Amino acid sequence: MKIALDPYMLRSTPLLELPGVVADLGYEFIELSPREDFTPFFLHPRVDDAGVKAFKKALDGAGVKVAAHLPLYRWSGPDEDERQAAVRYWKRAIQITVDLDCHVMNSEFNGRPEAASLSEGQFWKSMEELLPVFEREGMELRLEPHPDDFVEDGLVAVDMVRGINSPLVSFLYCAPHTFHMGGNMVEIMEYAGDLMTQLHVADSFDHTGSSGLRYITNPPGNAVRVHQHLDIGQGEVKWDLFFETLNKLGFADRENNIMTACVFAWEERARESSRFMRETIDSYVGAW
C-alpha cells in the first residue's frame, strides 16, 4: 500500500518546489489534486509538455512519485456542450498522467442530484468515449461518491463501478464522506471488497447527529451538504473500526492500493497537519 498526501493546502507552493516540500513532510507519494497552474477545477489543463517534464524532474530529484492524479470535470453534467468539453479535458489529463509515469487516476461522478437519471446517462456516454483511452494507456480509474452528486450513497457507487465492468475501474472510499454515503462504513467497505483500491483519510462530523440539528441552515429544508476534511481525531469517524476493517480486508497488503491524507481545513497549519496525519496513519497501520 502507498501512503500519499493530497497537497491541496500547499497549492500556493510553486509547483517545482512542491515535491521537496512533500518529501520534507515525510511522504514519498503525492495524490495530485487540482491546481490553477496544472489541472484546475473543471477547466482544461494549463500545463504544457515542458511544464510536465520540469515537474517530473522535480519529483525525481525529491524522490517523490505521483501515486494518483485527481482531475475534476463535469463529465456527467446535464449540459451536453459542457460534457463534451469535459471529455476533451479528460483526454489531455490522461496524457499528462502518463507523462508523469503514473497509471492511476481518481475522480468523482460529477453529475447533479436533482437530475440524477439525466446525469447517469451523461456519465455512461462519457465512459463510452473515455474507457477505450484508459484501456489504451493502461490507466486505472478509481471513482468515489460525493456529497451533492448524482451518486452519493456508498453501496450504489460500488454497484455503479461494477456496472462499468472493467478491471481498470475500481472504488474509492472517502472517510470524510462517510456520513453522506449512508454512515454504514463497514458495510460499504465489505461490500466493495477487493474493488476498494483507494482511500481518502480525513475526519468529519456526523451531520445527521442531534436529530439532524448539528448543523442548522436557513431556510429549513434546503439542499445544502455539509462535511469537513479534518485531522484524524477531530471529528466522528470511528478510526479504530476503520483500520480494523481494512485489516480484515487485507487492504494494506496490496501493493497498488493507495491511502491518501486529504485534510483541507487547516491551511494556516498545513505542514503541521500533514506531518500529524502521516504519523497518525503510520501508528494505526502499525497497530493493525
- Indicate whether 220 pLDDT > 80: no
Range 166-184 average pLDDT: 97
List pLDDT tens digits, range 241-261: 999 999 999 999 999 999 999
Mean residue pLDDT of the chain comes to: 96
| Cell numbers standing for residue 241 | 473500526
Question: Are 198 and 68 a contacting pair, CB within 8 Å?
Answer: yes
Alpha carbon distance 262, 277 (integer Å): 9
What's the pTM value of the predicted model, to 2 decimals? 0.96
User: CA angle at residue 277 from 275 to 278, to 5 degrees?
Assistant: 65
Using the predicted structure, report yes or no on whether residue 103 has a pLDDT greater than 90.
yes
Q: With 90 as the cut, is the pLDDT of residue 82 above it?
A: yes
* CB burial string 2-37: b at 16+ within 10 A, e below: bbbbbbbbbbebeeeebbbbbbebebebbbbbbbee
> What is the rounded average pLDDT of the residues 147-171?
97
All three cell numbers of 243, joined, read 483500520
- In this prediction, residue 216 has a pLDDT band, given cuts at 50, 70 and 90, of confident
| Cα gap 222→204, rounded to integer Å | 21
Asked if CATH classification 3.40.228.10 holds for the domain at 2-287, the reply, yes or no, is no
- 3-class secondary structure, 142: strand
Q: What would the pLDDT profile of 107-138 be if each residue is shown by its tens digit?
A: 999 999 999 999 999 999 999 999 999 999 99
Asked if the model's pLDDT at residue 263 lies above 90, the reply is yes
Of 148, 129, 139, the closest CA to residue 87 belongs to: 129
Percent of the chain surpassing pLDDT 90: 92
